[in-house]
Structures are given as C-alpha cells and as structure tokens.
Amino acid sequence: MTAYSLMEVLLAICILVILAVLLAPTFQVARTTSLRMQGLSNMRQTISAILLYAADHDNKLPGPLDEFHYPAVTTKTDQLAYFIGTYLGVPANASAGVAVTPMAPVAFLSKNDPTKKACYFAINNIYLPTSGSKNIYIKPWGTTNQKAGYTEADHTPKSLSVIPTPAETVAIIDADSQLRTTLGAVGERTYLIKDPLYGKLRNAGFFDGHVESVPIDYNMFPYFK
C-alpha cells in the first residue's frame, strides 16, 4: 500500500482549492443562466395567459392596471393576477395571498414574499411613430392613475390590434428598483427588489407573445423622441 507524505496531501488540497476558486464563476454563470431560462418559461406562460384573456374579451387587454404587479392571488382589480390567475391554473376560489407560481421568475419567488414584492412592470406608455414635436402615446393596459389630463381613453384597456409592431413592443418586463430609476422615478421602493435578477439582463415579454432576455439598457420606448 502506497503511503502519501503530509506535503503531498497538502499539495493536493491546495490544487483542489485553486480549482474550486477558478471554477466558481463558471458555476455561478451556469446557475444564473438556468434560473433565467426558467424565468423565461414562466414569463411565456404569463404572456400566453394575457393573450388567452384577450381572446376571450373581444381582443382587449386586461385592465385598467397598475404599473407594478405582484405574483399572488389578490382582490385588487388593478393587478394582472386578478385577471389572469385562472388562466394560470389558480382556482377561482383561491384565497388572497396564494402565490401564482407561473407568474413570477423562479429566482424571484425563492427569495421574496409574492404579496410584498412586485415581479413585473407592465409598460404603461407606448409611444407612437410621429414626425411632429409632440409625443403621441397610448396606454395599452389603461391606467388607474387619476393624473390631471388623462382622458377616458387613457383609463380604458386597449385592443391588441392597436399595438404598433407587437413583436418589438414590450408588454411586461422583470421589475426592480434599478428599472424604476431608469424610467425616471426617484428613490427606492420596498415593493421592488433592488437589482436585476440576472445581472446585465432582464426577461421581457412582447405583445406578439414571444419572450426574450434583453440588456438592462434596452430601449423599451423605441418611438420616443
């Protein structure tokens, strides 16, 4: 039987430690990628539920909606879960607060209370192509905001048929405080996680039903001038 000296054992341990340090980033990237792909799968289910809802309601989107959405059964009528929960397999008589699992990224639900943290941002302005100096927009989901100057049309959910270039227009996107700051808001909010779930990427669902991961500096308002 071959015996190993203490020096050989220590050398072997050192080599294993060095390998572990070198490979750790690779393992982390693989884990993040796996969670992001699971998040895309859940977002695809959510977008499909939205389109199914529209198909059952004269092609109109659910709403009027708030901008930020919680992945839990709710009695609040400004939340996506209120409208599409049953399309995601949630029983119609489910108690408020029950997590709507397909409506949130796996990485989000593993760390956050679905009744206290919002997981998605629903795009509340779609700027229309214009050569003039005034920005023209529609609010696809309608809005519950009673801001002065908003018309009845602003409060009313729109038909999918009026969405310009639906394959290029974001419907919902992963929500975090960094996104809120990008949109021009000041200060963090407790209902949002601080940073993007996937580092330099966020998952986004588009009005044509497809989903993809986009850079955190992705322009969600391509017609804005």
pLDDT in tens, 64-89: 999 999 999 999 999 999 999 999 99
Predicted local confidence at residue 25, as pLDDT: 66
Residue 2 resides in a domain? no
Q: In terms of Cα–Cα distance, which of 135, 143, 103, 131 is closest to 119? A: 103
Predicted local confidence at residue 206, as pLDDT: 97
Predicted local confidence at residue 128, as pLDDT: 84
Domain count, the chain: 1
13 pLDDT more than 90: no
Query: Residue 68 is part of which domain span?
Result: 35-215
Residue 12 resides in a domain? no
What are the residue ranges of helices labelled H in 159-198? 177-182
CA pair distance 176, 193, nearest whole angstrom: 5
Q: Which long-range CB contacts under 8 A does 137-145 form with residues at least 24 apart?
A: 138/162, 140/61, 140/171, 140/207, 141/61, 141/62, 141/63, 141/64, 141/65, 142/61, 142/63, 142/64, 142/65, 143/63, 143/64, 143/65, 144/64, 144/65, 144/66, 144/78
What are the residue ranges of helices labelled H in the chain? 6-55, 80-84, 106-109, 152-155, 177-182
Q: What is the pTM of this model?
A: 0.85
CA pair distance 153, 139, nearest whole angstrom: 8
Residue 180 resides in a domain? yes
Residue 14 resides in a domain? no
Predicted local confidence at residue 27, as pLDDT: 53
Residue 221 resides in a domain? no
Residue 25 resides in a domain? no
Residue 224 resides in a domain? no
Tens of pLDDT, residues 108-151: 999 999 999 999 999 988 988 775 556 788 999 999 988 878 88
**Antiparallel, parallel or unpaired: β 170-174 and 126-127:** unpaired
Residue 222 resides in a domain? no
Q: What percent of the chain has pLDDT over 70?
A: 89
